[in-house]
């Protein structure tokens, strides 16, 4: 039991470091039970406005940025063209702080295309998606159903919603998703997969307009005109290994779907 707790705590610590945490202790103690000096304002009883999807959030400069990404993406006729267009795209500030554009990995004509969220530190260094601890777990997960990014007989093709690492691995912002979504949709169209696997919340937000991966996972949907299966992000499974059983069920569902509709 002590060994299990140690490894669990170590995994949580590694996750905090991956998020960019540099200090474990503050300069002064924080009283979490302290009552605020000012009483909170009463909450309005009026019905709140429906949430706006990230891909439609109007921000300063975003409409022109989205229009430009749509124009550049639609002009790309090959994956190489698309990669060059993304590298030349001038409106996403994430590229200024990233070391590499993380475009894809795996075999482009694979039946299954995985869409992750954004590169992390290891991916930014390597210029490939899912190469850190989470990526290693992802490889082991799909190897369990005899699939992999380098398996000619059952390959995977992998990309992300964002091609550049957000600072300190923060969540993608609505305007960043909005301007990069046309490139992602064109990427899917050029790769021509039969099935999409949406890894984590932000790929579901981008392609399904929904979030709540614990509710969405395991349920087949339609995204970009293709069957899509939301799954837990492997980084989440590293933090919460008790959900690996659900991830295994999703992998079996994917395998069954591929057998039901075998490649021509």
pLDDT tens, N- to C-terminus, the chain (264 residues) = 444 566 666 666 665 555 555 555 555 555 544 544 544 454 443 443 344 454 444 444 445 999 999 999 999 999 999 999 999 999 999 999 999 999 999 999 999 999 999 999 999 999 999 999 999 999 999 999 999 999 999 999 999 999 999 999 999 999 999 999 999 999 999 999 999 999 999 999 999 999 999 999 999 999 999 999 999 999 999 999 999 999 999 999 999 999 987 765
How many domains does the chain fold into? 1
Q: Is residue 209 part of a domain?
A: yes
pTM, full prediction: 0.76
Find out whether 228 and 195 touch, Cβ atoms under 8 Å: yes
Find out whether 211 and 107 touch, Cβ atoms under 8 Å: no
Q: Is residue 172 part of a domain?
A: yes
Residue 141: domain span: 55-260
Find out whether 169 and 98 touch, Cβ atoms under 8 Å: no
Q: Is residue 36 part of a domain?
A: no
Q: Is residue 40 part of a domain?
A: no
């Amino acid at each position: 039991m002590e060994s299990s707790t140690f490894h669990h705590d170590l995994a949580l610590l590694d996750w905090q470091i991956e998020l960019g945490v540099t200090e474990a202790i503050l300069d002064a103690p924080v009283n979490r039970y302290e009552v605020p000096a000012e009483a909170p304002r009463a909450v309005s009883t009026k019905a709140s406005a429906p949430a706006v999807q990230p891909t439609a959030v109007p921000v300063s400069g975003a409409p022109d940025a989205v229009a430009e990404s749509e124009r550049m993406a639609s002009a790309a006729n090959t994956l190489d063209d698309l990669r060059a267009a993304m590298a030349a795209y001038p409106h996403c500030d994430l590229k200024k702080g990233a070391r590499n554009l993380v475009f894809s990995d795996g075999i482009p004509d694979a039946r299954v295309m995985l869409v992750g969220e954004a590169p992390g530190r290891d991916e930014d260094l390597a210029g490939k998606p899912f190469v850190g601890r989470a990526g290693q777990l992802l490889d082991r997960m799909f190897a369990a159903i005899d699939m992999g990014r380098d398996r000619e007989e059952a390959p995977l093709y992998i990309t992300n919603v964002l091609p550049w690492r957000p600072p300190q691995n923060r969540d993608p912002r609505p305007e960043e998703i909005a301007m990069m979504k046309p490139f992602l949709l064109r990427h899917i169209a050029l790769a021509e997969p039969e099935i999409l696997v949406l890894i984590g919340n932000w790929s579901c937000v981008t392609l399904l307009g929904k979030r709540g991966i614990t509710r969405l996972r395991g349920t087949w949907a339609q995204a970009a005109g293709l069957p899509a299966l939301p799954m837990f992000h492997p980084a989440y499974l590293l933090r919460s290994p008790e959900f690996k059983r659900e991830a295994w069920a999703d992998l079996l569902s994917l395998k069954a779907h591929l057998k039901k509709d075998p490649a021509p």
